[in-house]
């Protein structure tokens, strides 16, 4: 079945540091890939997505590139802020038949001033 593996957290960084959160997946067919973010006390919200190989999703300074050859969708940001402290979830979804998206376990990011 489909699965998503994320690096375990927490990831602790100083403000303005470079961020990478690794995400790899296994899937049948050709999935769409997503990063969701959950700020403290809130539900999840979509951060970015990519629907086919080599697509790059970007939003709020975050980027992720759909790498079919390495089955990866790593999240990156060049300079994190304290306000980026949150839990980040990698997810995938496939078309046809299944209504259920597959989520990773989430990676907590803590950014210190």
Partner 1 sequence: DVKVTQSSRYLVKRTGEKVFLECVQDMDHENMFWYRQDPGLGLRLIYFSYDVKMKEKGDIPEGYSVSREKKERFSLILESASTNQTSMYLCASSTGQGFTGELFFGEGSRLTVL
Choose one: 14-22, 44-52, 60-68, 70-78; the region binding partner 1 (CB under 8 A): 44-52
Distance, CA of 39 to chain centre: 14
Among 5, 51, 58, 65, binds partner 1 (CB under 8 A): 51
User: Binders of partner 1: how many residues, by CB under 8 A?
Assistant: 26
Beta-strand runs (E) in the chain: 3-6, 11-14, 19-21, 23-26, 32-38, 44-50, 56-59, 62-65, 75-77, 86-93, 102-103, 107-112
Cα atoms in the 13 Å half-sphere on the side-chain side of 63: 10
CB of 86 to partner 1, least distance (A): 13
CB of 94 to partner 1, least distance (A): 7
Among 25, 34, 66, 73, binds partner 1 (CB under 8 A): 34
Site for partner 1 in 70-99 (CB under 8 A): 89, 91, 93-99
- Cis check for the bond before 96: say yes or no (omega within 30 of 0): no
Q: Counting contacts by CB under 8 A, is residue 40 touching partner 1? A: no
- Name the DSSP class of 72: B
Task: Give contact residues for partner 1 (rule: CB under 8 A).
Answer: 32, 34, 36, 41-46, 49, 51, 89, 91, 93-101, 103-106
């Amino acid at each position: 079945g489909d699965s998503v593996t994320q690096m375990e957290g927490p990831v602790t960084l100083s403000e303005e540091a470079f961020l990478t959160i690794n995400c790899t997946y296994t899937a049948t067919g050709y999935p769409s890939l997503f990063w969701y973010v959950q700020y403290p006390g809130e539900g999840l919200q979509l951060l970015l997505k990519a629907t086919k190989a080599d697509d790059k999703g970007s939003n709020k300074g975050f980027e992720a590139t759909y790498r079919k050859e390495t089955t990866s969708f790593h999240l990156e940001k060049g300079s994190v802020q304290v306000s980026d402290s949150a839990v980040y979830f990698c997810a995938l979804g496939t078309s046809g038949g299944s209504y259920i998206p597959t989520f990773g376990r989430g990676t907590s990011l803590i950014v210190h001033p």
